[in-house]
Structure 1
């Protein structure tokens, strides 16, 4: 049995391990697939300050000197670095939260998080998607949307959702 567990790095999403541990207690042979989805447009290369001082800029009567930033990492390198960091974070979480479980880590890149989660569930042939919800409602739900809602609406497999108040 395979369970896909999406995590967004928030404290709320980490609470899903309560439910994952319960599932593992009932079915110890579950293979847990942890995934985080990043927006490629939100990832930037690192910049650093120039080694030498930039020439002073004259603004009115004042002279202002500030080092000009320079790019030290391309967008592709930034995405690769973020993938490596995310896999390490997911592995650390799994080792701490579900130490006896068999797990696999995934990093997906998409502007559409819910779609990416559902696509990965299809690719790995997950038996269930297990995820937390922030429990937003009203205006905040309308403005922020809901990844969980998007997953539920379009999933072709069961989705087990844990609300923010789960103990």
Structure 2
């Protein structure tokens, strides 16, 4: 599916796989494998931004995937996030959607909220929020109405 469909139909917290359709090179070609990995991976959808129109430029709608955090001893040193515009040539696939009862911890940033964490229930979300202080964070539960609308409209995970 296209990036535009992911932007329109995937809820925050969904796991999205993306690919350029090129087969993975043999492991002995380390640089080629690394380059291939930058265009073929999986991440959690954490942000959707609407198109912007300014006096000097126009940017299309885009979304951001969180691919992972790297560090040690509980300290995150690098957080890998990739942002794609809706006109990206890559192919995307929604692998998993948030389940009913899960709770999104969101933060208002600019025009759209950003997913900070996806908890299995409200109690886990409140524990996470108590140990990770964010000034503009709020909770949003995944409801049966949201999941039901996805099923009715044909937006089930691939």
Sort the TM-score into its range (normalised by shorter chain).
under 0.3
Q: TM-score, normalised by structure 1?
A: 0.25
Say which one has the larger Rg. 1
Q: Which has the higher contact order (CA 8 A, sep 6+)?
A: 1
Higher share in helix: 1
